[in-house]
């Protein structure tokens, strides 16, 4: 079992909808979570990071971590066509990064229809 | 502030050759990490350097190597190329480690091995 699981999609929603993107992880030793957005032919761009349970909000984006169920979510409000991209969740150990660096999910391809 | 710069953007090599990829981190960042991205495996950690020392290494064969210079710039080398080495190679930099030092990625070098 891969340590971080993501539904690859594609997930297609109409413009203006609320988008929910989810990841599950298997190793509770990891406590630091990130969401990256990757456009075609570009590198991943950091959207949000958090190392605690609960919600963290930044503009239209909200990251949610539930450590009891090992579930990570990213919500996008008022979705725009420019949000169409692949969204990657990642985790890291709190101390020292660990021998494996960041562990990424394979990404969810999101399409916002105008 | 300039982002992470990777050169070249595209490379085509033949099996058995070797290749060197270059990465210039964000100014002030001392940690550089390398990742391989493929459609099948997603993003996989190669290695991390901090102050010219390799701090972590992923599960890749010895054909993959890297180094970091005193100005924090980094190179990675792949010798005896195989078809399976075709991938997007991403470099990321951060000022340190841990929750308050997230990775910032470049746009990658697309390597095609024929």
Chain B residues within an 8 Å CB radius of A46: 102-105
A2 pLDDT band, cuts 50/70/90, is low
- Whether the predicted pLDDT of A95 surpasses 90: no
CA distance to B12, B37, B85, per residue, from B6 (Å): 16, 15, 18
- 3-class SS string, B37-102: EECCCEEEEEEEEECCEEEEECCCCCCEEEEECCCCCEEEEECCCCHHHCEEEEEEEECCCCCCCC
* Mean pLDDT for chain B overall: 94
Rounded to whole angstroms, the Cα distance separating B71 from A51 reads 30
- Is the CB of B43 less than 8 angstroms away from the CB of A96? no
Model pLDDT, residue B111: 98
B89 pLDDT band, cuts 50/70/90, is very high
- Is the CB of B97 less than 8 angstroms away from the CB of A46? no
- Mutation target to probe the A interface, by most A beta carbons within 10 A, among B4, B33, B99 is B99
- Is the CB of A104 less than 8 angstroms away from the CB of B98? no
**B36 close contact with A: CB closer than 8 A:** no
| pLDDT above 70 coverage of chain A, percent | 88
Question: Mean per-residue pLDDT for B33-38?
Answer: 96
Model pLDDT, residue B39: 92
Chain A residues within an 8 Å CB radius of B107: 41-43
CA distance to B21, B64, B78, B80, B112, per residue, from B17 (Å): 13, 13, 9, 5, 12
**A94 close contact with B: CB closer than 8 A:** yes
**B21 close contact with A: CB closer than 8 A:** no
Rounded to whole angstroms, the Cα distance separating B7 from A100 reads 25
- Whether the predicted pLDDT of A21 surpasses 70: yes
**B109 close contact with A: CB closer than 8 A:** no
């Amino acid at each position: 079992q891969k340590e971080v699981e993501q539904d690859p999609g594609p997930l297609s929603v109409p413009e203006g909808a609320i988008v929910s993107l989810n990841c599950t992880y298997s190793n509770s030793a990891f406590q630091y979570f990130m969401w990256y957005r990757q456009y075609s032919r570009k590198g991943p761009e950091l959207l949000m990071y958090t190392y605690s349970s609960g919600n963290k909000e930044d503009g239209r984006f909200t990251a949610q971590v539930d450590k009891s169920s090992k579930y990570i979510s990213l919500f996008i409000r008022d979705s725009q066509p420019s949000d169409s991209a692949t969204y990657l969740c990642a985790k890291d150990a709190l101390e020292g990064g660990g021998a494996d660096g960041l562990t990424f999910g394979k990404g969810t391809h999101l399409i916002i229809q105008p | 502030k300039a982002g992470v710069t990777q050169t070249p953007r595209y490379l085509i090599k033949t099996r058995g050759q070797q290749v060197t990829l270059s990465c210039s981190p964000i100014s002030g960042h001392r940690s550089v990490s390398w990742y391989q991205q493929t459609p099948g495996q997603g993003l996989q950690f190669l290695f991390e350097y901090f102050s010219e020392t390799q701090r972590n290494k992923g599960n890749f064969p010895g054909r993959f190597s890297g180094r970091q210079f005193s100005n924090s710039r980094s190179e990675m080398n792949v010798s005896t190329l195989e078809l399976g080495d075709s991938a997007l190679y991403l470099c990321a930099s951060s000022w340190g480690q841990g929750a308050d030092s997230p990775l910032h990625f470049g746009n990658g070098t697309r390597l095609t091995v024929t």
